[in-house]
């Protein structure tokens, strides 16, 4: 499997742009990060699967509208780039303030990117909570 350093860096940059758009609550930046294909998919923590850019964009719009401020650090970033698909796993360490309630949460994310003429665009985001010890359900 090809895994060129240049492609891996480009996928890592696309992943970083996604989190910059997320932290800035910037829908126009999300428009630029994501593919607008009808097959793109998104799973927010605990949400059902969303399919198609229209549904995915609406979900970000709703999240941004209900979030006053979003701050996080991204850790454990692992990037693999193939010929036309790239994938990233990372941990989102989120400090959020939703209507005055501040929470810190660790979220595991799998992010997929497809290469198009302009570079790498996000095609799938799957994020889920890590449960504390004792809460863990089996697969």
Q: Is 6 in the site for its own copies (CB under 8 A)?
A: no
Q: State the minimum distance, in angstroms, from the CB of residue 28 to its own copies.
A: 18
Say whether residue 105 binds its own copies (CB under 8 A): yes
Distance CA 50, CA 122 (A): 14
**Rounded Cα–Cα distance for residues 36 and 93 (Å):** 27
**Of the two residues 28 and 137, which places its CB atom closer to its own copies in the complex?**
137
The residue count of the chain comes to 139
The DSSP line for 28-82 is HHHHHHB---TT-EEE-TTPPPEESHHHHHHHHHHHHHT-SEEEEEEEEEEEEE-
Q: Is 110 in the site for its own copies (CB under 8 A)?
A: yes
Mind giving me the DSSP string for 65-133?
Answer: HT-SEEEEEEEEEEEEE-SSEEEEEEEEEEEEEETTEEEEEEEEEEEEEEEETTEEEEEEEEEEEPPPT
- Judged by CB, which is closer to its own copies: 20, or 105? 105
Asked whether position 57 contacts its own copies by CB under 8 A, the answer is no
Q: Does 65 bind its own copies (CB under 8 A)?
A: no
> Binding residue for its own copies (CB under 8 A) from 4, 9, 116, 119?
116
CB of 90 to its own copies, least distance (A): 9
Which parts of this chain interact with its own copies (CB under 8 A)?
Answer: 1-2, 22, 39, 41, 43-49, 51, 63, 66-67, 76, 78, 80, 82-87, 89, 91, 96, 98, 105, 107-108, 110, 112, 114-116, 123-124, 126-131, 135-139
């Amino acid at each position: 499997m090809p895994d060129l350093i240049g492609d891996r860096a480009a996928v890592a940059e696309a992943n970083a742009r996604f989190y910059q758009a997320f932290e800035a609550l910037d829908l126009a930046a999300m428009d630029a990060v994501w593919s607008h294909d009808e097959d793109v998919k998104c799973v927010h923590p605990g949400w059902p699967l969303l399919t198609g850019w229209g549904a995915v964009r609406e979900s970000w719009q709703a999240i941004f509208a209900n979030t006053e401020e979003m701050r996080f650090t991204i850790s454990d970033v692992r990037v693999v780039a193939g010929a036309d698909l790239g994938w990233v796993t990372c941990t989102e360490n989120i400090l959020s303030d939703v209507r005055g309630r501040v929470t810190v949460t660790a979220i595991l994310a799998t992010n997929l990117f497809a290469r198009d003429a302009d570079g790498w665009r996000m095609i799938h985001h799957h994020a889920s909570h890590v449960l504390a010890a004792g809460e863990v359900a089996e697969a």
